[in-house]
Amino acid sequence: MTYDVARFRRQFPSLASGVAHFDGPGGTQTPAVVGEAIAATIAAPLSIRGAILPGERNASVAVAGFRSAFADLTGGDARGVIHGRSATQLTYDLSRALAKTWRDGDEIVLCRLDHDSNVRPWLQAADACGITVRWLDVDPVTAEITEESAAEVITTRTRLVAVTAASNLLGTIPPVRRLADAAHAVDAIVYVDGVHHAAHEFVDVAELGADLYVCSPYKFLGPHCGVLVGDPALLESLHPDKLLPSPDDVPERFELGTLPYEILAGATAAVDVLAGLDPGEATSRRERLRSSFDAIGRHEGRLLRRVADGLAEFGDAVVVHSRAARRTPTLLLTFPGRSSADASRALAARDVHAPAGFFYAEELRRRLALHDDAALRIGLAPYTDDEDVDRLLAGLVAFLEG
């Protein structure tokens, strides 16, 4: 079996609308099987988890399946898989739990590449504790973390390094493992935002050096929720605020209230879809995911080269801010003398969806000095095809010539 984008696209009812979607970094389209898994779970007997009645067993199966699926997706431990409303909510929860362990003189390290959901919770927690925040800086020319900042900011006072595995605005993939090694050398915890990363790269939390890794299934074909995968031993040492009678086991102590079993089933189905894209000869779901992400990378990489070559034809009329040596298939554009919002509207008139904005990457927006107008973000997804790229480039030609 080989990667067949035409066959894959037939799994998405929404693609029948005729819209060419380049909005994947904000959330992908959803295969029919994911919606069917949600519907089947919520329509079946369902109740609080248990082992006696069908509804209890169905709930337990949904939770166990979800934890197993995301352990396979990330290479983590199913005992450390936590469901949350969103990555933002999970990061706020973990920031509060970790802040209880901080003391006077401690420091945390944040990164200017990051979505605000991996910045503001930590800043607010640090402010409440009165500890110092240091920054991994970004070179606006290369769109990469500067070597100087990486070498200087992690010290013996560092208790946490929070960094993205891939920038949702530029696509930059920073050297997370190198940063994690420096953090672990001083016994600091590494919190990795994988929301954009998990949509395009085969995830191995151990290889990344991530003690805590957060992602969002709706960025990779699933329903709207967040997932955190953590080291169970680390999670055991943390004590989040919770109700007295609610479970104190890990990971349940981090999951407030009754879980949305139907959403868990949909998220599991999304992982299974990814594992089936191009599984090769692999038998385990983990290895099928590895093979499929290799195929996704080849497919998206080829299309990204087509887009980049097309943009190069525009010369100085388009500025491409995504310049990192290693990055996801995501490009940020501005148009000197023209409005990126107008470019987005012009594309939308041709049923091409490439949104304009700064997409919650507030620190990076400031670092790039993009103060006045929005920027246009082009994001490829596993279902993007050559016709989509043709329409995108034709739409940009029409906008620039108009």
Residue 280 pLDDT: 81
pLDDT at 241 over 80: yes
pLDDT at 1 over 70: no
Q: Per-residue pLDDT averaged across 318-325, rounded?
A: 97
Query: Same CATH fold, 34-274 and 5-30+283-401?
Result: no
* CB-based contacts of 281, cutoff 8 Å, min separation 6: none
Sheet holding 158-164, edge to edge: 81-84, 226-230, 212-215, 189-193, 158-164, 107-111, 132-136
pLDDT at 148 over 90: no
> Is the model's pTM score more than 0.95?
yes
pLDDT at 196 over 80: yes
CATH number of 34-274: 3.40.640.10
The span from the CA of 77 to the CA of 100, in Å, is 24
Q: Over the stretch 22-38, which tens digit does the pLDDT of each residue have?
A: 999 999 999 999 999 99
Q: Is 369 left (phi over 0), alpha (psi -120 to 50) or beta?
A: left
Is 3.90.1150.10 the CATH classification of the domain at 5-30+283-401? yes
Instruction: Check if the beta carbon of residue 85 is closer than 8 Å to that of residue 258.
Output: no
Instruction: Check if the beta carbon of residue 99 is closer than 8 Å to that of residue 91.
Output: no
The span from the CA of 314 to the CA of 309, in Å, is 9
Q: Per-residue pLDDT averaged across 328-357, rounded?
A: 98
**43 pLDDT tier (thresholds 50, 70, 90):** very high
Each domain of the chain, given as residue ranges in start order, spans 5-30+283-401, 34-274
Structure tokens at 192: 């990795």
**278 pLDDT tier (thresholds 50, 70, 90):** confident
